Structures are given as C-alpha cells and as structure tokens.
Amino acid sequence: MEISQQVPVFVALDVDHADKARLVVQTLGDAATYYKVGLELFLAAGSGLVSELVDQGKRIFLDLKFHDIPNTVRAATREAAKLGVDFITVHALGGKDMLVAAQEGVQAGSGFADGHTKVLAVTILTSHAVADLAAIGLKFHDPKENVLNLATLAEQAGVHGVVCSPHEVAMIRANTGLAAMVPGIRPTGASANDQKRAATPSDAVRAGASYLVVGRPVVQAPDPKQALLAIQEEIDLALKLKEA
Ligand code: C5P
C-alpha cells in the first residue's frame, strides 16, 4: 500500500541521549520523515542534534513550549527558526502580544533557513483538570472553555495551529481555522501507558487532526518500522473513508 503523508506522523524522540535518538532515526530509516524533539532530548543533546536531523532531511517539531515576555519569546523563536525546524510551540497563556512576538521571531529567523517554521500554541495542558484550573485562578474552570478561549486568542494573533488532545480536535476545527497537532494517539490494541484520554489514529483523523504525534507505540514497539507503517496505513484508510 502506498503511504500518503497527508496527515504526517511525528515520532516523539523522548530519549535522554543523542545516540539513542540517532538509533531510533536509523531504525525507522525512510519510513519516518517527521520527528518531535522535546525538552528532555533538547537539554540532553543540544541544538546540534536538531541541526543534524534537519540536515538529513528530517522535518522537526521542536516542542519547547515557550512562555515568557514578548521580547524574550521573539528572540527564542527567532533562534529556533534559524535551526530550520517546521514547528515550534508557545503557551497561549503567554497572551496575545507574546503570540504575535513569537510569529515575528519566526519571520526574522526563517530567513536563515528555508522559511517554513510555523508556530503552534499550547492551550490548556491535558494534565490539568477542573480543580487545577480553579486553583490557578482562571476565570473558566472547565478545561474545554479555556481551550476554546485560548485557541481563539491564538488565532487572532495569527498562529498556525494548536496542540490539542484527540478529544478537542473536533471543537477546534469547528470553531477556528487553526491546524491541530494531536498527541495521545494509541493504535487499536496498544498499551495506553500513562495517556488517560487516548484515541486511535483513525479517530483523530476523522475528528480533523492535521498532524499526529506518536511516541512509545512506535519507539518501544518490537518492530518500530512496522508499527509506524501500520499507523500510516490506518491513517490512509481513515482518510479514504472520510472522503468517500
Ligand atoms: O509516548 P506517547 O505517544 O504518549 O508520546 C506523546 C508525546 O506527546 C510526548 O512527547 C508527550 O510529551 C507529548 N504530549 C502529550 N500530550 C499533550 C502534549 C504533548 O502526550 N497534551
């Protein structure tokens, strides 16, 4: 079956050493073009590894979740864009000025790469429930209300999309023009690990996901390449059925 990449799958490189990440990339070979680098690997391996992967033609989602004053975030996103990554994340809770500054930084830095870095906003962390939001003191205690409010703010600031759980995708797509990067994906029959509100790749695609993030179900599979190909085939099938 020919694999389309209409909904790219970003493999999360959640490892603590550059060599472990290189081994995953080598094992997946041509089957994987898209990778997520988060705080753990970035701190363990540095930006050099990101550049190395970009030089190999890999497409990187750099998930460092910036949240600071606009000037600092502008400078950080500029440096991230210089690395040639496809996506970076910022917290929508940083506010509209910070979100606009993130876009400005990307534009300033993209001149150094090929100009394609896009900003994704994180709305409410999926680890937060009603009680956590009340304790923080947010006006709305319902996570969904906050997600929609922050996604609307992010859209007004001009960001490309949001990171959201499979259970929020349909709401985001119905109410905004934002793209949705969706983690918490578990192929049918796979262990949920610590993901409490996981969904299958087909569910996420049917709900309107633009990109998926998958970590352990691929990286820790007995045959990672096969596991990734099976997910990509499931996505293709779901897209065909959706279009039919
Ligand atoms: O191994 P697993 O597929 O659960 O990895 C999912 C990746 O997506 C991890 O890197 C995790 O930090 C990230 N993520 C998530 N839920 C969110 C945001 C990010 O699982 N709401």
Q: 86-135, pLDDT tens digit by residue?
A: 999 999 999 999 999 999 999 999 865 555 899 999 998 888 888 988 99
Cα atoms in the 13 Å half-sphere on the side-chain side of 214: 32
Residue 1 has pLDDT above 70, yes or no: no
Looking at the DSSP assignment, which residues form a beta bridge with residue 214? Answer: 11
Q: What span, in angstroms and rounded, lies between the C-alpha atoms of 123 and 76? A: 19
What does the pLDDT look like over 187-197, one tens digit per residue? 877 777 877 77
Task: Determine the pLDDT at residue 113.
Answer: 52
Element (H, E) at 61: strand 59-66
Structural domain boundaries of the chain? 9-243
Task: Determine the pLDDT at residue 68.
Answer: 98
For residue 183, report the distance from its CA to the centre of ligand 1, in Å. Answer: 5
Kindly report the CA angle at 161 between 128 and 111, in degrees rounded to 5? 125
Candidate from 16, 123, 213, 219 with most ligand 1 atoms within 8 A of CB, to mutate: 213
The reply to whether ligand 1 has any atom less than 6 angstroms from the CB of 165 is: yes
Which atom, in ligand 1's list, is nearest to the CA of 194? 4
65 is known as an active-site residue = yes
Is CATH 3.20.20.70 what the domain over 9-243 is classified as, yes or no?
yes
Task: Determine the pLDDT at residue 2.
Answer: 45
Catalytic site residue from 20, 65, 96, 225: 65
Q: What span, in angstroms and rounded, lies between the C-alpha atoms of 103 and 158? A: 8
Neighbours of 72 (CB within 10 A): 15
pTM for the whole thing?
0.94
Q: What span, in angstroms and rounded, lies between the C-alpha atoms of 33 and 1? A: 18
Residue 45 has pLDDT above 80, yes or no: yes
Residue 228 has pLDDT above 80, yes or no: yes
Task: Determine the pLDDT at residue 161.
Answer: 97
Residue ranges of E strands in 134-226: 161-163, 179-182, 211-214
